[in-house]
Structure 1
Amino acid sequence: MTRSLFVVSRILVGITFIFSGFVKAVDPTGSAIKFGDYLSAFGTESLMGLVMPAAFVVAALEFLTGLHLLLGIRIKTSSILALIFMTIFTPLTLFIAIKNPVTDCGCFGDALKLSNWETFFKNIILLLPTLFIFVKRKQFNEAIKNLNKLIITLFFTGAILGITYYSLQHLPIIDFRPYKIGNNINEGMQIPEGAEQPEYETTFILEKDGKQKSFTAENYPYTDTTWVFVSNDTKIIKEGYEPPIHDFVLNDLEGVDQAQNILNSEAPVLLVISSQINKGHWQNGILENIIELKQKLYEQGIHTHFLTASSDDQITKFEFDGDAGFDYLNADETMLKTVIRSNPGLVLLQKGNVMGKWHYNDLPDPASFKNPISYSLGQLIQQQNLLLLLCYALGGLIFLILFMQKK
């Protein structure tokens, strides 16, 4: 019974840690952004330079801890690491649930969104099997030779760090965000019929005879005109349904939102996205390449828009220095970073459908971009085939390791 419970605990904790580490590894930029949110919430912005290294380390440690638990190797070390993770994050998530300094813990990246309280209760549930594994760790006899354990550890350490680095230098190999290729932005902004609506409570401050008193809509003295209105405050008491995309607003220089014009365009539209121009990677011919792409598409009647959260002064300086001739639209910085993990990056839309996305390290060749839709579909098929091959390779390898048990 004890051994069966140990195996079940090992599998449950192992899979959870593998999933948590992997989804962080495929989107290190997103993990770094979330770590930055934590630092800002706790007033430790001076440590912002550590967010990207932390994204690599946390993803690798979580993945390797879970993998070793699942495979039944290095149980003593892995159980200690798992317990350290749970000991740190369980009280931290309780504090976050109570104080609510951030709205999403980011435990599972964008793959699985949990509320702060859901995250805390998840940790409480996971803490029990983690403690059981730790207590019983010395009773487990590992069945893989030491040399094989070393090979497995080194291989998967290189694999998870390689995936993280590739996803940083290109785009996430798996995109869990609502702006992923194939999604329709208009559909992502819709609220389903019958969806739960938010509930608000408004408090009114009224004054009479020099004394102030608070009222709600239920006990407001509507018929007593001797009360004088002072102020009111409205707060949300129950969250309603929020669509996956709720901040896709693209204002032109006059402050007019052009989002629907772009999303409803029958012709393809290319978006050049730079959340902050002064932090973008424009060297090594990247800007020149994007300008050439814009010109090629213009000859075909395809418009290009430049989306940024930069100030007007920064936009003016960028345009003057590069003589780019872009049509600039202002947007929310967080939204732009969610759309694409690249600064700059390219997104191709048609009727609101995300047809293609490119990191600045993978910009299309202007000569090959004569038919952008066909080019995008070809790129997507190649990426899907590579991802499928990677999944087969890693899955097959893990399956083979299970048969490397020494008799």
Structure 2
Amino acid sequence: MNKKFTLLARYLLAIVFIFSGFVKGVDPWGTAYKLHDYFLAFHLDFLDNLSLVFSFILCVAELYIGLLLLFGVKLRLAAWGAFLFMLVFTPLTLILALTNPISDCGCFGDAIKLSNWGTFIKNIFFFIAAAILFASRKSITSKFSVLKEFAVAILLLAISLLPSIHGIRHQPLIDFRPFHVGANLLDYTTVPDDAPQDVYKTILYYEKDGVVKEFDESNYPWNDSTWTFVDSKSYLVQKGYTPLINNFVVYSEDGHNYTDSILYSDGYLLLPVIPYTKYLTKEADEVFNKINKKAFEKGIKIFGLVSASGKDLLDLEQKHRLFFPMLQADEVMLKTIVRSQPGLLLLYNGTIIGKWHWRDIPKDLLDVKNPHAYLIKTLKKSNENYQVLAISISLLLLLLLINVNTKNRR
């Protein structure tokens, strides 16, 4: 196989695997929710409890394969990994394109949305690249010594683990969803007056002398009594404007709609978000009880957003001792709002100014006089820490890459 084609295939696969593994790895809960959709669509419900485990393995494996290909480490192993990935996912995306049980395959998490046919065409391209690399695997030789190659492989594995481990225990490093810090919920749920509307085409079916013919709204025989109306069907011709958030609806147990109370809220508003009650722990309960007590003392409104009903809803008070008002919402929406079990939003005049995994809620959040200034300060410090870490890892990888290129020239 031509070395240039092999090298091109290797680097193309490295780029797509690193990008795909990273954007999914920063949000492993989101990938787990997508796997949940797959399991339901293909009647594999018994695997649902393993969704997060599979998500973690998938994200780490993709990122690791991409890094191995980029740095020229364990290339035969990486060639096998890339080929097996594409061998599995290419026919799977063809099935998705033909049957469309899920609108988005989740290949690039929430960062990039592709149609199922678009995903399949993309996979055909990269399957060819993986096949080229796989066919040339025996001619690939490492530029490292055995010990050094092993050490670099371990280092790259550790780097591959970091995004997913962080994503499981905290909010995603990068939030691609509309419920991000800085989002105004009213703006994101409103359809502008001049926004384009959905355009439909209606087909009308009429029968005459035992023959059924198709008409549209411009030529149907409305004034000819010899034709008998049979049926009509409408098709979406052009999709209109869709707000960034189109499923934000919350209501009390007795059915009272509280959506506008959230969207048009004045001042500070705390929203503990609990997608699943089964993941609540004593530690999380204690955190929210303290938040509720301080909110009451400060006169700050607090509403819990839950998908629970019946006994599960009652248990929030009786078992978990959470006494703030609970509003029910769609489970999918709650899982979109936070990637934690549970999490907390802080709103100011309907705008999200704070968002945390329950582990990361600042202990003195409600003790300060100016939460805005406090959040800006803590966010700046957090960003600085992440920047130092990102720069350190980037420099390390850059030095490694330079070392690899130097060896390749020899």
* TM-score using structure 2 length: 0.88
Cα offset, 1:138, TM superposition:
3.1
Contact 2:345 2:356 in 1 (8 A): yes
1:396 aligns with 2:395: yes
Amino acid at match of 2:76: K
Cα offset, 1:131, TM superposition:
2.3
Cα offset, 1:6, TM superposition:
3.1
Cα offset, 1:72, TM superposition:
1.8
Aligned equivalent of 2:85: 85
Cα offset, 1:191, TM superposition:
4.9
Aligned equivalent of 1:386: 385
Q: Equivalent residue of 1:403, what SS?
A: helix
Cα offset, 1:52, TM superposition:
1.3
CA distance in 1, matches of 2:229, 2:285: 57
Contact 2:288 2:322 in 1 (8 A): no
- CA offsets per residue over residues 34-63 of structure 1, 9 Å max, x none? 011001001111111221111111111111
Query: Structure 1 pair 24/229, CA: closer, same or farther in 2 (3 Å)?
Result: same
Contact 2:65 2:82 in 1 (8 A): yes
Aligned equivalent of 1:20: 20
Aligned equivalent of 2:52: 52
Aligned equivalent of 2:247: 247
CA distance in 2, matches of 1:281, 1:322: 8
Cα offset, 1:266, TM superposition:
3.2
Aligned equivalent of 1:311: 309
Decide which moves more: 49-58 or 188-197.
188-197
Cα offset, 1:104, TM superposition:
0.7
Query: Structure 1 pair 317/133, CA: closer, same or farther in 2 (3 Å)?
Result: closer
Query: Structure 1 pair 145/191, CA: closer, same or farther in 2 (3 Å)?
Result: farther
Contact 1:296 1:366 in 2 (8 A): no
CA distance in 2, matches of 1:205, 1:258: 44
| Unaligned residue ranges in structure 1 (runs of 5+) | none
The alignment's C-alpha RMSD in Å is 2.9
Query: Structure 1 pair 233/382, CA: closer, same or farther in 2 (3 Å)?
Result: farther
Contact 1:203 1:214 in 2 (8 A): yes
- CA offsets per residue over residues 340-382 of structure 1, 9 Å max, x none? 0112210111123221112122233257643433333233223
Amino acid at match of 2:28: P
Amino acid at match of 1:66: G
- CA offsets per residue over residues 133-181 of structure 1, 9 Å max, x none? 2223333333222222211211221232233122111221222211122
Q: Equivalent residue of 2:339, what SS?
A: coil
Q: Equivalent residue of 2:302, what SS?
A: strand
Query: Structure 1 pair 231/299, CA: closer, same or farther in 2 (3 Å)?
Result: farther
Q: Equivalent residue of 1:314, what SS?
A: helix
Contact 2:287 2:358 in 1 (8 A): no
Aligned residues: 405
- CA offsets per residue over residues 211-231 of structure 1, 9 Å max, x none? 998765455443356877787
Amino acid at match of 1:113: K
Q: Equivalent residue of 1:402, what SS?
A: helix
Query: Structure 1 pair 152/319, CA: closer, same or farther in 2 (3 Å)?
Result: same
Amino acid at match of 1:97: A
| Unaligned residue ranges in structure 2 (runs of 5+) | none
Between the two proteins, what is the percent identity of the paired residues?
A: 36
Aligned equivalent of 1:348: 346
Aligned equivalent of 2:114: 114
Cα offset, 1:236, TM superposition:
3.6
Contact 1:263 1:349 in 2 (8 A): no
CA distance in 2, matches of 1:85, 1:291: 46
CA distance in 1, matches of 2:40, 2:104: 14
Contact 2:206 2:231 in 1 (8 A): yes
Q: Equivalent residue of 1:157, what SS?
A: helix
Cα offset, 1:25, TM superposition:
1.4
Amino acid at match of 2:287: N
